[in-house]
């Protein structure tokens, strides 16, 4: 669980499938609870029930089944409202509310800005709680990585890196997969002399050896160690993504 006395949200990581993370987010003042990208339903419903929380909302970052697969069952069980990208509404039939970049979504008293981050999918979005210094980024930014360019371009992903970088070094980044160790190995092949990267990978290897999760990450760590955020041009990001896809 993440949060401190100054934060309105409690955030729970739920590992599902082989390497997915679903995020359960509770706003205590209102009692509202939201799920980000539920791949499946049962573990999410169980975690909420164990805490005495009632799920009132689901927020989807993109249409892929490992991010929306639990939507219908959770909605049937709780009557929750589902919000997701307007550009992908045709591929997320459970959506109640369609949003796009610049929109504001709310969980109780906590407000999040919607950010357009297309590339992994054509309509991918992220949610940024500025007051909480927290961003839910789906499959756009990973610890030391970025999403594959399934439906978009390197230019879009480069722009995404700039948008997310601008959120500030102390912004926590809640991504949707445990890809850190593999991403870090690739990053080392790109920047073998990066001292911050070498130090981070040593810590990651120890954490994974103990079975510990390596996310959330934060913008400062990614600026120092992520080869895609650190790419100096669209062409360089494109070359790195192509190399990573073959790795």
Q: Tell me: the pLDDT tens digits for 195-239?
A: 999 999 999 999 999 999 999 999 999 999 999 999 999 999 999
Report the CATH architecture of 9-246. 4-Layer Sandwich (3.60)
Assess whether 67 carries a catalytic annotation: yes
Q: Which of 26, 120, 124, 128 is catalytic?
A: 120
Prediction pTM value: 0.96
Domain ranges of the chain: 9-246
pLDDT for the residue 7: 67
Residue positions counted in the chain: 247
Mean pLDDT estimate for the chain: 96
Cβ contact 23:37 at 8 Å = yes
Q: 37: which strand partners?
A: none
Q: State mean pLDDT over 1-14.
A: 71
Assess whether 128 carries a catalytic annotation: no
Q: Which of 26, 37, 62, 116 is catalytic?
A: 62
Q: Tell me: the pLDDT tens digits for 46-100?
A: 999 999 999 999 999 999 999 999 999 999 999 999 999 999 999 999 999 999 9
Cβ contact 126:140 at 8 Å = yes
Cβ contact 40:17 at 8 Å = yes
In a 3-state reduction of DSSP, which class is residue 227?
coil
pLDDT for the residue 8: 85
Task: Work out the pLDDT band at 3, boundaries 50, 70, 90.
Answer: very low
Cβ contact 80:32 at 8 Å = no
């Amino acid at each position: 669980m993440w949060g401190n006395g100054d934060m309105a949200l409690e955030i729970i990581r739920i590992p599902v499938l082989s390497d997915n993370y679903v995020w359960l987010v509770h706003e205590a003042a209102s009692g509202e609870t939201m799920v980000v990208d539920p791949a499946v339903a049962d573990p999410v419903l169980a975690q909420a029930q164990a805490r005495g929380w009632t799920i009132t909302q689901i927020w989807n970052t993109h249409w892929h089944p490992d991010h929306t697969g639990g939507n219908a069952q959770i909605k049937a069980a709780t009557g929750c409202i589902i919000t997701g990208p307007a550009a992908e509404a045709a591929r997320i039939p459970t959506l109640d509310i369609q949003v796009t970049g610049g929109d504001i979504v709310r969980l109780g008293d906590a407000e999040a800005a919607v950010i357009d981050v297309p590339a992994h999918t054509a309509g991918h979005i992220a949610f940024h709680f500025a007051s909480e210094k927290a961003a839910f980024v789906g499959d756009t930014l990973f610890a030391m990585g970025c999403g594959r360019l399934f439906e978009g371009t390197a230019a879009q992903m480069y722009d995404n890196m700039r948008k997310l970088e601008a959120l500030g070094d102390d912004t926590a980044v809640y991504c949707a997969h445990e890809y850190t160790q593999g991403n870090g190995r690739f990053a080392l092949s790109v920047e073998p002399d990066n001292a911050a990267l070498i130090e981070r990978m040593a810590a990651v290897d120890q954490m994974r050896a103990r079975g510990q999760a390596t996310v959330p990450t934060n913008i400062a760590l990614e600026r120092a160690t992520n080869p895609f955020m650190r790419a100096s041009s669209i062409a360089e990001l494109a070359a790195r993504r192509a190399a990573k896809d073959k790795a």
